Structure 1
Amino acid sequence: MTTIRKASQKDAKELFGLIKELAKYEGQLQYLKTDLNQMTELGFSNVKPPKFEAIVVENKGVLIGYVTYTWNYSIWKGSTYMAIDDVFVCKQFRGNNIGQKLMQYAKDLCASNNIELIKWEVESNNEKAIRFYKKLGAEVNKKSIVKWHLT
């Protein structure tokens, strides 16, 4: 039995563990600069608004997946949108529609707040993820992402 819900402070340690698991899976662990204390403070403390929020999926009391996101504003659209940072489901639970349910929860959360757009990035060579997102009805465009690291 799985439960999908918004994350709370009690989820911080397990959520951080899943974030590390994703970074390791992607071969990006060396780029993970946040830590549990920072993540807890900025996402689950008295910072208003929080710097990020999360949706988690729980199976038998253990977190097995998540979506992290922020709320951003589009100058061109003149409205707020959800910017998804990460989507992750533990390997042994993939293929059970959990990712689809997480994304539906995100969509429903937006709808309940009159938000009409969700944006996120996917690596251009991640064909499996692109197929998954297209199956959800998402539009995948070829716009390039530009990064400018200042330190």
Structure 2
Amino acid sequence: MSDLDAKFDAITANLAGEFEALDAELAPEPAEQPERTPLELALYQAQDELTADWGDGFAPEAAGRRAWDRLDAAERDAALDELLYVYAGAIEHDSAERERYAREAPIRVELNALLALLRQARGWRAMWRRARLQRQIAALADSLIGGASDGR
């Protein structure tokens, strides 16, 4: 080994240690994982077991019952509160979605009628009609998706 090789090896060995220290210093902090409740942990475990036994062909209630059976009495009190909270939120969300769907039904009917007219409008004479239909369709679509049509 030549003197030059020995010097190069010494320099790169020192640099390697510096790079490792720099990498460790700049490494991102591990993301904090949310703390799982005993019910969540039991549910994940039950789902894993049922998936291993049945694939994806099991009812969610089966996993829930299996998870519930794993909990001790103290954990069940907190789990019941958790279940009721999530259930109440789901009911509230579902009713809001149903109300929105019912409220938007007339707009969807009008939009579908205009789209049918647009598909029928052909030829030079229908050009102005198509432009008007497209503006009306855009305005209705904006109202469905929460946009703001300028009405032109």
TM-score, normalized by the shorter chain, greater than 0.5: no
* Greater gyration radius: 2
Q: Tell which has more relative contact order, 1 or 2 (C-alpha 8 A, sep 6+).
A: 1
TM (norm. structure 1) is 0.21
Between structures 1 and 2, the one with greater helix share:
2
Between structures 1 and 2, the one with greater strand share:
1
